[in-house]
Amino acid sequence: MNEYWIDVLLSCFLHTPLNIMFWRGAWHIQDVYFIPEVPLYNHLISVVLGISLSLIIYLTQSYSRTYFPRLRGVPYFFVSRLYTLIFGFGSVSHWRGLWLLMDYYTEVSWISVTVSCSLGILILVCLKSYCTMLAPPVVIGIDCFKNTQFVITTRFQCNIKKSTSLYMLDVIFTVVVIQSLVVVVWRGLWEILDLGLYPDDSLSTTLYSFLIGYSLMVIAVLVQLFIAELSKKLYQAERFVLRLVVEDVYVILLSILTVSCWRGLWYIQDLYLFTFNIELSYWVSLITGCLGLVILGTFNSVVTKGCFIDGADPGGQGVICDVGYFSRSYDVVD
């Protein structure tokens, strides 16, 4: 248990800040280099690039899963990290393009963000895919497992060997619908905080966002075993709908704390990281995030990968914060 709390602290104050540095850098360098003088084109390039990269990686995963793990040593290390870098950049591009297109066409207002957030949550819950929302500090991705490094789940888990066409439709649905809905909800939660949490005071809104996120993280870790046990008992009692409601309410709490943490840490960089040279700030953020996560072996955390099904684990493990680092049994990459 002590190791787990160490992992929680590492996730909160090391893995998560580095993830956000990568995302902030990859996000904002596109502000600089993707036709910045025409915002609409800038956003469209991002979303098209992001979705295209994601679709290519999803559709070729059978080859990645077959051939890349056969590599050993330095070649495997290089290929796997390059794969994650490309996939991560694609994830950021998809999110950035869609997020900014929504801002462009609907503006940032209480009506826009509340409606988009509510609809996104409702649809994801109905699709039993809301836990796809989660990111560090609630979950982290470990690089050293060859058997999962190149595995990407889809919503309906279609098998390409049984039906290529169904698998392609499943991939398209996962990337274009599920992942886009995740962006919609993240945007809504983030911009609700922008509008409602000291909108005229940059430092206060940043600090309160940080405080809210990490306070909720402590609460979530303290109650997660109780929620998991309750979920398990409801499953055994065959009260499946109530069990799903309990898990979804808890996961919504996890998503709120995740967005709040990210927002606070992102804005801290905006306020203090090389503000005299914005372009330098973005590159330092990106490179530091990359190198830090590669060294720690958690670069996989930067990717918004696949689709996860709500309530899929009958033992209630789906509500446990998956931040195992020292507490996780490692398979050593040879």
As to burial, measured by CB atoms within 10 angstroms (0-12 exposed, 13-18 middle, 19+ buried), residue 78 is exposed
Q: Which residues lie across from 139 on neighbouring strands?
A: 322
pLDDT in tens, 62-99: 999 999 999 999 999 999 999 999 999 999 999 999 99
> Residue 330: inside a domain, yes or no?
no
Structural domain boundaries enclosing 157:
2-319
> Residue 331: inside a domain, yes or no?
no
The vertex-185 CA angle with 4 and 306, nearest 5°, equals: 60
- Please tell me the pTM assigned to this model: 0.95
pLDDT in tens, 299-325: 999 999 899 999 888 878 888 999 989
Given this model, what pLDDT does residue 1 score?
Answer: 61
**d(Cα 102, Cα 93) in Å, to the nearest integer?**
14
**d(Cα 228, Cα 208) in Å, to the nearest integer?**
29
Q: Which has the closest alpha carbon to 214: 8, 2, 1, 7?
A: 8
H or E element: which one contains 14? none
> Residue 281: inside a domain, yes or no?
yes
- Peptide bond before 137: cis, by omega within 30 degrees of 0? yes
Give the pair of three-digit tokens for residue 272.
């203090």
Q: Which residues of 168-193 are buried (b: 16+ CB within 10 A; e: fewer)?
A: eebbebbbebbbbbbbbbbbbbbbbb
Q: How far is CA 233 from the centre of its chain?
A: 29
pLDDT in tens, 23-63: 999 999 999 999 999 999 999 999 999 999 999 999 999 99
> Residue 87: inside a domain, yes or no?
yes
Q: How confident is the model at residue 256 (pLDDT cuts 50, 70, 90)?
A: very high
pLDDT in tens, 130-185: 999 999 999 999 998 888 889 999 999 998 888 999 999 999 999 999 999 999 99
Q: Which residues of 285-301 are buried (b: 16+ CB within 10 A; e: fewer)?
A: bbebbbebbbebebbbb
**d(Cα 285, Cα 271) in Å, to the nearest integer?**
13
Given this model, what pLDDT does residue 107 score?
Answer: 84
Given this model, what pLDDT does residue 330 score?
Answer: 45
> Residue 328: inside a domain, yes or no?
no
Domain count, the chain: 1
> Residue 113: inside a domain, yes or no?
yes
> Residue 325: inside a domain, yes or no?
no
Contact 246, 316 (CB under 8 A): no
**d(Cα 211, Cα 206) in Å, to the nearest integer?**
9
pLDDT in tens, 13-26: 999 999 999 999 99
> Residue 324: inside a domain, yes or no?
no
Instruction: Let me know how long the chain is.
Output: 334
pLDDT in tens, 281-291: 999 999 999 99
